[in-house]
Amino acid sequence: MELDFLLDFLAQLAANNTTAWMADHRPAYLRARAACTELVRQVLAQAAATDPDLVGLTTADVMFRLHKNDRAHRDPEPYKRRMGAGLKLGGRHAPRAGYFLAIQPGGRSWLGAGTFHPTPAMLAAIRQEIHYNGAEFHRLRQAPPLVQYFPEGVVTTGPQLTRPPRGYSADDPDLAWLRLKTYGVGRFYSDAEVIAPDFVANVLAGIAAARPLVDFFNEALPIAELQ
């Protein structure tokens, strides 16, 4: 894998984020894309060996496009500054919890696990699961392997409700968790970690550490009701 080339290309793209530049550098883009695809292929193949949810997925199922499909009117950049994938049952956009790997230079490469843009139905289901099985949720979010790999634990600094969710009381002991609008853990990698020979093994260790928590979220998400 040419992950050093991938990082260098993305750094150049960040400084020249235009369609004209991309057209002039298409061979380099294809080479960088191939490097990212091979990384995702290796991670996916090895993770699927122990996670049935990932069996049968291809890189095409999980990799995100570089082009910004939903570019805001004020955003002049047509391309993301990262390449990556969402590994979960049904593919990158499926209404499930899963694993998200992004490669971005400057120490911004990232592994996330959980659900970071859940639909209202997903949020309702996960909140109910936490409400019914709070002890299990707290056991999993504080599990030593998870905290060792993701020291910040479940993200609590993201968007959240200012009031209790509908149907929950203000004195619910898990209110701080029920108000969250995103449920997951994450950590960044330095560029040196990305190009290290053990990077794939490093990512797989994070996926393994987070899998019990991801499985907990997915237990609340019956696919038929959420599609």
Q: Is residue 208 within 8 Å of 50, Cβ to Cβ?
A: yes
Predicted local confidence at residue 25, as pLDDT: 97
Predicted local confidence at residue 76, as pLDDT: 81
Q: For residue 189, give its domain range.
A: 3-226
In the chain, the number of structural domains is: 1
pTM of model > 0.85: yes
Half-sphere exposure of 105 (CA within 13 A, CB side): 15
Tens digit of each residue's pLDDT, the chain (227 residues): 899 999 999 999 999 999 999 999 999 999 999 999 999 999 999 999 999 999 999 999 999 999 987 655 566 889 999 999 999 999 999 999 999 999 999 999 999 999 999 999 999 999 999 999 999 999 999 999 999 999 999 999 989 999 999 999 999 999 999 999 999 999 999 999 999 999 999 999 999 999 999 999 999 997 644 34
Predicted local confidence at residue 170, as pLDDT: 95
Q: Output the six-digit token pair for 149.
A: 């790999």
Question: What does residue 163 show for φ and ψ, rounded to 5 degrees?
Answer: -125, 165
Predicted local confidence at residue 223, as pLDDT: 65
Amino acid at the residue 226: L
Predicted local confidence at residue 80, as pLDDT: 94
Predicted local confidence at residue 71, as pLDDT: 52
| C-alpha distances in Å from residue 65, one per residue of 10, 60, 160, 224 | 14, 10, 28, 26
List the strands of the sheet with 109-115, edge to edge: 83-87, 98-103, 109-115, 183-189
| C-alpha distances in Å from residue 159, one per residue of 18, 87, 129 | 31, 23, 20
